[in-house]
Structure 1
Amino acid sequence: MTTLPIRTPTVAHSASGMETHFFVRHLWLPLACVLLASALLMGAGGDQWIADALYRLEGGHWLLKDHWFTSGVIHRVGKWSSTAAGVGVLVLAIVAWCRPRLKVLRWPLTYLTASVAMSTSLVSLLKSWTAMDCPWDLSRYGGTQAMIGLFESRHGIAASGCFPAGHASAGYAWVALYFCALALRPAWRFAGLFIGLAAGLIFGVAQQLRGAHFLSHDLWSLAVCWVSALALYCVMLQRPRRALGLTLLLGDVE
């Protein structure tokens, strides 16, 4: 009786190549873009150039700081809306775990809930650790503080904790929809990404118009949200799927 050889090394090599390609596109390339943009914004003065332009357009003061639309609707209502959406996803996840016919949604919804919570929590934690002022705190924009860089000593000067951008993270946290869709229905992944990016941009631009953040603050908020969403995807969704797929492949070649 002739036995066909098991092609395990070929399968493993193929899986390894796909994984490398995945991380190049989803981690290393985005990270390189963030570092390049940060060099332009934080190192070459891009942050101040943009803030200067906005400050001039608003008449030499932050005209939209307390405006009903930027402060009331986008900031306050936007925060409530993101929180409500997170609670809604949590409820859906609980329902999925209680109903067998929704089994396929259990881990994706659990992942989405955990990712949004972890992303916003990490940004809040970083804000408490980093000593960065908001534009409206700086003497350059009508405040009282001198401009001090992220890695410069403050010599006991209190900071506002403005880095990364907290409110923008309430929008950017939803980039996790990309990975949720990647696990459920890959054709929808870019629609999910668009939702997260659009929400973060709306929240972030509104805060910049109020003088609450520089563009780099929003950029790093997005970076934190993206990396945390990617990390949780690898642990909660990709690894179980990859293990199942490899098991099926090995079963086919035995």
Structure 2
Amino acid sequence: MSSAPFRLLSRPLGQPSRLLPWSLPVLLLAWFATHHLDMSVARWLFHWEGDAWSLKRSLLLEHGLHRGGRLLSQAAWASVFVATLLHWRSPESRAWTRPAARLLLSVFASVACVAALKAVTQMDCPWDLAGLGGDRAFIGLFETRPASLGPAACFPAAHAAGGYAWVALYFFFLHTAPRWRHAGLAIGLLAGAVFGLTQQLRGAHFLSHDVASLAVCWTIACAIEAVGARRAAEVHA
């Protein structure tokens, strides 16, 4: 048996041109799979909590992981921004300030893009839907939303995006400390998963909302890295 597939899997995929084509189909399939599980998972959580989103006002979930998690992500971004700004003109720091600038742009653009999509897609949260504590009928992503239902803004998941946006740490560490690149990726995935589960337990989002946020964040991280790599190659050409 040829060992080519195993060599491919073990190769350090650092270039976004390699990562994006392989990862996007996987994320797309994951979204379709979780989309079909949305109602089943949400109903199970709803019944588990006593046929009410009893954790919606949980001190740990609402104040600790939701509001506190958002502040933590914002504080991390601000800290990286200040550090990059202070060292931007230092030739000795150029090896990490340029990757840090791309990291900052990627995190900001990911969160902003998800926020913009929420306003366009007009999808309800689980707690708004009939059978899950609300009174609205479920309207799918590609279905026409009746004006009588009023506005909605729950897809993709903004809070999960605040964690998943940090998957861009993969590329930051790829340039500054390559052996830590997978740890950087894990930080973003773990933060997004925790933030996403927090909101699912509160009835604020479906599982597929979180997967969609991950897809947006990873695509933006790869795109910004690709543009940065191209510009760096042109400078050194």
Q: Distance in 2 between matches of 1:148 and 1:159?
A: 12
Q: C-alpha displacement at 1:244, in angstroms?
A: 6.7
The match for 1:216 among 208, 231, 234 is 208
Conservation of the 8 A alpha-carbon contact between 1:96 and 1:105: no
* Aligned Cα root-mean-square deviation (Å): 1.9
The match for 1:166 among 134, 158, 162 is 158
Match of 1:7 in 2: none
Q: Distance in 1 between matches of 2:170 and 2:201?
A: 28
Conservation of the 8 A alpha-carbon contact between 1:92 and 1:109: no
Q: C-alpha displacement at 1:41, in angstroms?
A: 2.4
Report Cα offsets for 1:126-148 as digits up to 9, x if no partner: 01111100000001201011011
Which structure would you say has the larger Rg?
1
Conservation of the 8 A alpha-carbon contact between 1:172 and 1:225: yes
Match of 1:251 in 2: none
Match of 1:77 in 2: 68
Q: Which amino acid aligns with 2:37?
A: G
How do 1:98-137 residues align onto structure 2 when only pairs under 5 Å count? 98-137=89-128
Asked if 1:230 corresponds to 2:222, the answer is yes
Gaps of 5+ in 1: 1-17, 248-254
The match for 2:168 among 144, 162, 176 is 176
Asked if 1:203 corresponds to 2:195, the answer is yes
Q: Distance in 2 between matches of 1:50 and 1:137?
A: 16
- Higher mean displacement: 103-112 or 92-101: 92-101
Q: C-alpha displacement at 1:225, in angstroms?
A: 0.6
Gaps of 5+ in 2: 1-10
Q: 1:53 to 1:89 in 2, by over 3 A?
A: same
Q: 1:186 to 1:244 in 2, by over 3 A?
A: farther
How do 1:77-96 residues align onto structure 2 when only pairs under 5 Å count? 77-96=68-87
Report Cα offsets for 1:94-126 as digits up to 9, x if no partner: 122132321212201111111111110000010
Q: 1:150 to 1:201 in 2, by over 3 A?
A: same
The match for 1:154 among 134, 145, 152 is 145
The match for 1:57 among 48, 55, 67 is 48
Match of 2:33 in 1: 40
Q: Distance in 1 between matches of 2:29 and 2:105?
A: 29
Q: Distance in 2 between matches of 1:172 and 1:129?
A: 20
Partner-residue secondary structure (3-state), 1:132: coil
Partner-residue secondary structure (3-state), 1:139: coil
**Segments of 4+ moved more than 3 angstroms:** 20-25, 240-245
- The two structures have a TM-score, normalised by structure 2, of 0.89
Q: Distance in 2 between matches of 1:34 and 1:109?
A: 26
Partner-residue secondary structure (3-state), 1:140: coil
Match of 1:13 in 2: none
Q: 1:180 to 1:21 in 2, by over 3 A?
A: closer
Q: Distance in 1 between matches of 2:183 and 2:34?
A: 28
Q: Distance in 2 between matches of 1:96 and 1:88?
A: 12
Q: Distance in 1 between matches of 2:95 and 2:174?
A: 13
Q: 1:36 to 1:75 in 2, by over 3 A?
A: same
Conservation of the 8 A alpha-carbon contact between 2:56 and 2:202: yes
